[in-house]
Structure 1
């Protein structure tokens, strides 16, 4: 089943790549005409240059995205996730978007669905608030934030934090919280790593993750990423031990 999902994702990648805008044609429209009195280059169709600069500069310097985005994630346990982000309002530094998600288990049965709002900043900071419904469990209200603490042309470091309020529909089970945090690192928007930890005091449970990230394909409208590493959880009664975990993600802007 996972192999079939992987093949379907590959088909989506190929289809997306075939419909990508041809950037070479845009470059051909921008030609060097000469130099002005101060020695600065003068180009034909200079109004196209900001678009080119935005498309090809490092991600942390690019403007915040103002396009609708969709994603498909295939997980090593056979599950699959769908995500969407639709911009609602923006200025030169921030974009507020509506977000939605739907996860499926390895039998393609709904595992959760959610909706919320996201705030993305031009410097790589971000906030999200989401309400999720989980069949057989109840609801979850969560908030997450990302702070970009360092970036240059090669390196990007961000810290993350999250807090979730779990609201079970199970009789005699009270609401309880889960909170967590992590560190993300990325080199040239190509290779990276992340460390994360989450704690649920009510269950006396802690979750840990150590993951590596690799961008397999990137264009102005499409990305394909691989994430792989290890995860585990611990309670006073048992420990799962470090288990391998990986996923493929296809993202597309429209």
Structure 2
């Protein structure tokens, strides 16, 4: 039994660290338009998405397509895919998101990870403060992990964090997550720099560090 738990811990170390961001796909996308726009225009009504390329050779894409709402709330279909460094599907996500004009939001997504199983995630965010210079948002999520592994039951992961942006140009975020089944904690610190932005296009540079801890193994902070 100890061997199975240790094997699962090692497996989750690879799965969760690589795909942690996919649990919250909507956070790739800025939900505020240019600062000079009135508050009623802060919810995007057009389809939009993002592409990421990582230093380890992995990549990903996310898309968000609004299909219902009013001047205060927008409901969108969201989807994303992660590719391994060999351009194979590492994770695929689909779900729904609700965005509020004040920067609050809710989402529910299902992520399928080949070789592992599925993750059903409910996430929420609350905008704490926003003006022309500063934006601070708190976020939280709960995930039901459903592995396709013999003798391994479903288990839960919960987490939360803060996102901060200055003048929609420089940002930072901190996230922590806990998986009680294997007593695992994940931590990440990330930074963001906007290199170019127009009404239709945004190019951003992102970098960060993350680590995990379990009673059996732990990592150091890695880029």
- Report the TM-score, using the length of structure 1 for normalisation: 0.72
Instruction: Please say if residues 63 and 92 of structure 1, whose CA atoms lie closer than 8 Å, have aligned partners that are also in contact.
Output: no
CA–CA separation in structure 2 for the residues paired with 1:242 and 1:58: 39
CA-CA distance at 1:63 after TM superposition: 3.1
Q: 1:142 aligns with which of 121, 139, 158?
A: 121
CA-CA distance at 1:121 after TM superposition: 1.0
1:33 corresponding residue in structure 2: none
Larger Cα-atom Rg: 1
After superposing on structure 2, the runs of 4+ consecutive aligned residues of structure 1 that deviate more than 4 Å are 58-61
| Mapping for residues 64-103 of structure 1, pairs under 5 Å | 64-103=43-82
Q: 1:124 aligns with which of 103, 106, 119?
A: 103
CA–CA separation in structure 1 for the residues paired with 2:48 and 2:145: 28
Instruction: Please say if residues 193 and 213 of structure 1, whose CA atoms lie closer than 8 Å, have aligned partners that are also in contact.
Output: yes
Instruction: Please say if residues 142 and 165 of structure 1, whose CA atoms lie closer than 8 Å, have aligned partners that are also in contact.
Output: yes
Report SS of the residue matched to 1:243: coil
Q: 1:186 aligns with which of 159, 165, 169?
A: 165
| Aligned Cα root-mean-square deviation (Å) | 1.6
| Mapping for residues 3-152 of structure 1, pairs under 5 Å | 57=36, 62-152=41-131
Determine if the alignment matches structure 1 residue 216 to structure 2 residue 200. Answer: no
1:242 corresponding residue in structure 2: 221
CA–CA separation in structure 2 for the residues paired with 1:61 and 1:152: 14
CA-CA distance at 1:62 after TM superposition: 3.1
CA–CA separation in structure 2 for the residues paired with 1:136 and 1:59: 47
CA-CA distance at 1:56 after TM superposition: 5.9
Structure with the bigger RCO (C-alpha within 8 Å, sep 6+) is 1
CA–CA separation in structure 2 for the residues paired with 1:166 and 1:237: 20
1:8 corresponding residue in structure 2: none
| Mapping for residues 162-201 of structure 1, pairs under 5 Å | 162-201=141-180
Report SS of the residue matched to 1:140: strand
CA-CA distance at 1:76 after TM superposition: 2.2
CA–CA separation in structure 1 for the residues paired with 2:160 and 2:167: 23
Per-residue CA shift, 1:44-92, capped at 9, x if unaligned? xxxxxxxxxx756269663311101122111222111111111110100
Gaps of 5+ in 2: 1-32
CA–CA separation in structure 1 for the residues paired with 2:38 and 2:69: 18
CA–CA separation in structure 2 for the residues paired with 1:215 and 1:203: 37
Instruction: Please say if residues 35 and 132 of structure 2, whose CA atoms lie closer than 8 Å, have aligned partners that are also in contact.
Output: no
CA–CA separation in structure 2 for the residues paired with 1:147 and 1:57: 21
Instruction: Please say if residues 233 and 239 of structure 1, whose CA atoms lie closer than 8 Å, have aligned partners that are also in contact.
Output: yes
